[in-house]
Amino acid sequence: MFVDEARITVAGGDGGDGCLSFRREKFVPRGGPNGGNGGSGGAVILTAEADRNTLLAFRYRTRFQAERGRHGEGSNRAGRSGADLVVAVPVGTLVTDEEALLQLADLSTPGKRVTVARGGMGGRGNACFATPTNRAPRRHEPGQPGETRVVRLELRLMADVGLVGLPNAGKSTLLSRISAARPKIADYPFTTLTPVLGVVDAGDYRSFVVADIPGLIEGAHRGAGLGLRFLRHIERCRVLLHLVDASVPGADPLADMETVSRELRRYRTDLARRPRILVLTKADAAQETAAIERARAHAAARGLPCVVISAVTGRGVEELVGSVWEALRREGEAAAENPLGDPPRGRWPGSS
């Protein structure tokens, strides 16, 4: 089961109390205070792991608490500190403090960590309060409580390429053709209910990851269909493939293009600046070549690359994979020239 949202409570361990103790040994007069300090509580740490791809585990366990520190003891023995609790989450998890509405971390790389709840400090024993004028202090401190907060986890898939389009545009069929992924394929809308990832071999030991996103419809940015729930999964995609069904008689590909483009802009304006390739699908069943030519002319006028394919016969698929790799290469070079992620001065081809 694919779960991309979770709400958990994290609590750091409480600190141990300081000890109130005096040295009591035979033949040792005026032994003095010897109460040890309490140990610190453990922290709750989230770490990104590449072998996890869902937040399903957090549906059944919603509270995570680190170990508390041990109390101090006599003979100046300090309490043992509590062990940290390390919780693994998928790469691409966004961590937010739900009460403060503060983003704590974006765990976008394997091994990246964030401390979401700190442990409490241990209290001082009475040996720490001895002075020349107060040689028998009875003061000692309790341990501090650990930090507790409610954290929201949102998984945003780490994919190089995102497939977007209206329902039944042929996204799942294309993914199954160019990768080893086997998404559900049927002749009715919304067969894809959750995002599906596939690794595409581009030859010469080159590869990239493609995400199949459930179909978008009018009003997806407001929650219509499945769009609002899964639109966030294309936020990290470096290139978007905009699929349009060219086989429907009497349909207007330009209207279909504008519907999806409008929903992307309304969800996040920067999505309109992503490198995009227009893909006219189901060419083997297309009956009106005029509609394909209009879509090609429209894409050319906007500087948008356009590829006509048939995932069933394989027409244009190799050309599409090559175009995607070239777009990824150009985007990688642009990112290397702009490592701070500043907004581009111009617009990507096809932006509006």
| Residues 272 and 190 reside in one and the same domain | yes
| Residues 188 and 323 reside in one and the same domain | yes
Per-residue pLDDT at 227: 53
Neighbouring residues of 300: CB distance < 8 A, sequence distance ≥ 6 = 306
Q: List the helix and strand counts (H, then E) for the chain.
A: 6, 14
| Pick from 84-93, 160-169, 341-350: least confident | 341-350
What are the backbone dihedrals phi and psi of residue 100, each rounded to the nearest 5 degrees, phi first? -90, -5
Is the predicted pLDDT of residue 222 greater than 80, yes or no? no
| Pick from 98-112, 147-161, 198-212, 244-258: least confident | 244-258
Rounded to whole angstroms, how far apart are CA atoms 97 and 222? Answer: 24
**Structural contact between residues 76 and 49, judged by C-beta atoms closer than 8 angstroms:** no
| Residues 316 and 168 reside in one and the same domain | yes
| Position 312 confidence tier, pLDDT thresholds 50, 70, 90 | confident
What separation in angstroms does the CA of 156 have from each of 9, 167, 207, 246?
20, 21, 20, 30
Question: CB under 8 Å, gap of 24 or more: what pairs does 295-303 form?
Answer: 295/244, 295/246, 295/253, 295/254, 295/257, 298/254, 298/257, 299/350, 302/349, 302/350, 302/352, 303/349, 303/350
Neighbouring residues of 258: CB distance < 8 A, sequence distance ≥ 6 = none
Per-residue pLDDT at 267: 80
Residue 45 belongs to domain with CATH number: 2.70.210.12
| Residues 9 and 150 reside in one and the same domain | yes
In a domain? residue 236:
yes
CB atoms under 10 Å from CB of 316, counted, come to: 18
In a domain? residue 68:
yes
**Tens digits of per-residue pLDDT, 324-336?**
999 888 888 876 7
| Residues 326 and 277 reside in one and the same domain | yes
In a domain? residue 352:
no
Q: Which three-class secondary structure state does DSSP give residue 197?
A: strand
Per-residue pLDDT at 292: 80
Q: Taking the mean position of all CA atoms in its chain, how far away is CA 108?
A: 6
DSSP 73: B
Is the predicted pLDDT of residue 142 greater than 70, yes or no? yes
Q: Name the β-bridge partners of 279.
A: 243, 307
Among 106, 131, 155, which residue terminates a domain?
A: 155
Q: Which residue from 132, 148, 162, 143 is spatially nearest to 271, judged by alpha carbons?
A: 162
In a domain? residue 348:
no
Among 155, 178, 202, which residue terminates a domain?
A: 155
In a domain? residue 302:
yes
| Residues 262 and 130 reside in one and the same domain | no
| Residues 150 and 166 reside in one and the same domain | no
In a domain? residue 345:
no
Mean pLDDT of the chain: 83
| Residues 10 and 98 reside in one and the same domain | yes
The C-alpha torsion from 175 through 176 and 180 to 183, rounded to 10°, is 90
Among 130, 155, 180, which residue terminates a domain?
A: 155
| Residues 145 and 172 reside in one and the same domain | no
The pairing of beta strand 161-165 with beta strand 206-212: parallel
Rounded to whole angstroms, how far apart are CA atoms 168 and 185? Answer: 9
| Residues 149 and 215 reside in one and the same domain | no
Rounded to whole angstroms, how far apart are CA atoms 6 and 46? Answer: 14
| Residues 168 and 148 reside in one and the same domain | no
- Structurally, how many domains does the chain consist of? 2
| Position 117 confidence tier, pLDDT thresholds 50, 70, 90 | very high
What separation in angstroms does the CA of 344 have from each of 110, 148, 261, 331, 334?
27, 40, 20, 11, 9
In a domain? residue 105:
yes
What is the span of the domain harbouring residue 178?
161-337
**Tens digits of per-residue pLDDT, 228-265?**
566 777 888 889 998 888 877 666 777 878 888 888 88
In a domain? residue 136:
yes
**Structural contact between residues 158 and 207, judged by C-beta atoms closer than 8 angstroms:** no
| Residues 166 and 277 reside in one and the same domain | yes
**Structural contact between residues 140 and 19, judged by C-beta atoms closer than 8 angstroms:** yes
Q: pTM for this structure?
A: 0.74
